[in-house]
Amino acid sequence: MTKAQQAKAPGAAALLDDWQVMMRGQLRLSAHTISAYCRDATAFVDFLSAHLGHEAGGADFAALHVRDLRAFMAARRADGVSPRSLNRALSALRHFTDYLQSRDIAVSPAFSALSGAKTRAGLPRPVGENDVARLIQCALDTAQLDWLGRRDAALLTLLYGTGLRISEALSLTREDIETANDMLRVTGKGGKQRDVPLLPLVVHALNDYLAAQPFGLRHADKFFRGARGGPLAARQAQSMLAGLRRAIGLPDNVTPHALRHSFASHLLSGGGDLRTIQELLGHAQLSSTQIYTQVDEAALLAVYDKAHKRR
């Protein structure tokens, strides 16, 4: 690329900023996805600048070869990035180059030609019912303040009893809870809403926390609050569960999302059908829900193997 072309071409940093603004304003992507995409695309632009020997600009995307992209993927792999994260990075780059093309910036066909890294489909690891009960009891027994224990117990009960994502649970307001009765309206990914049944045990835990919390929550306030009164953040909830699992000796894979897996897996093993579970989880595609049939089969095989040891 000549110096004249570099001068006329928009800078990559400016393009990344504009792309981020576009994603937040026009696309139904979660804040987490946007943040991850921006990190991946920024990492590529930084790599490209070093790879080319000059600050990367929009015009550079037209002249790239597959080997350039493979060099980036290899560098990321050498940094210890997992195959799943590499595929996400490739998805981010394709998304970014689609945006470039929408601005009439030429893009090399190498971006669509490069195949993703192979990944092994990992099965979700559900948390046993007894272990969930132990986590909830530990939350009640070990909290420094009574209302915090009731909050943590309510959140864990909600996650396990409804299959909500942690972001969905923490976005609920007092009004959402109080108007739910036996059916909770949840806003999921892409702003899509779904109704999730509330078991009496879940309702009791939520009401128990609401009565104990010391803040005068208004109807529009977030239902779950931090120790100082602000909305409870996902990182705080994850840290809370990490402390509880360590206290009772559970493995690191016991996370808020594992409780969602447990809800689906236990529902399926109890006779629930995939379509219903898909609706309850808010999965856009049935294929996302079908992984739980493998989980259930794996559990059955484990029981069979234990009962019929080979001698």
Does residue 189 have an active-site annotation? yes
Q: How many helices (H) and strands (E) does the chain have?
A: 16, 2
E strand spans, 135-216? 183-187, 193-197
E strand spans, 149-222? 183-187, 193-197
Residue 278: closest CA among 269, 268, 186: 268
Does residue 165 have an active-site annotation? yes
Residue 73: closest CA among 27, 126, 39, 114: 114
d(CA 272, CA 144): 39
**Cβ distance 195 to 183 under 8 Å?**
yes
Residue 260: closest CA among 284, 276, 277: 277
Q: How many Cβ atoms from other residues are within 10 Å of residue 39's Cβ?
A: 13
Does residue 51 have an active-site annotation? no
Does residue 260 have an active-site annotation? yes
Phi/psi for 231 (5° steps) reads -60, 140
Does residue 219 have an active-site annotation? no
Question: From the candidates 165, 174, 245, 261, which is the catalytic residue?
Answer: 165
Question: From the candidates 257, 261, 306, 311, which is the catalytic residue?
Answer: 257
Question: From the candidates 150, 260, 261, 266, which is the catalytic residue?
Answer: 260
d(CA 68, CA 254): 39
- What residues does 219 pair with on adjacent strands? none
Question: From the candidates 37, 99, 160, 292, which is the catalytic residue?
Answer: 292
Question: From the candidates 150, 174, 225, 283, which is the catalytic residue?
Answer: 283
Question: From the candidates 94, 189, 194, 222, which is the catalytic residue?
Answer: 189
Does residue 261 have an active-site annotation? no
**Cβ distance 246 to 261 under 8 Å?**
no
Residue 267: closest CA among 257, 256, 258, 276: 276
The residues assigned a catalytic role are 165, 189, 257, 260, 283, 292
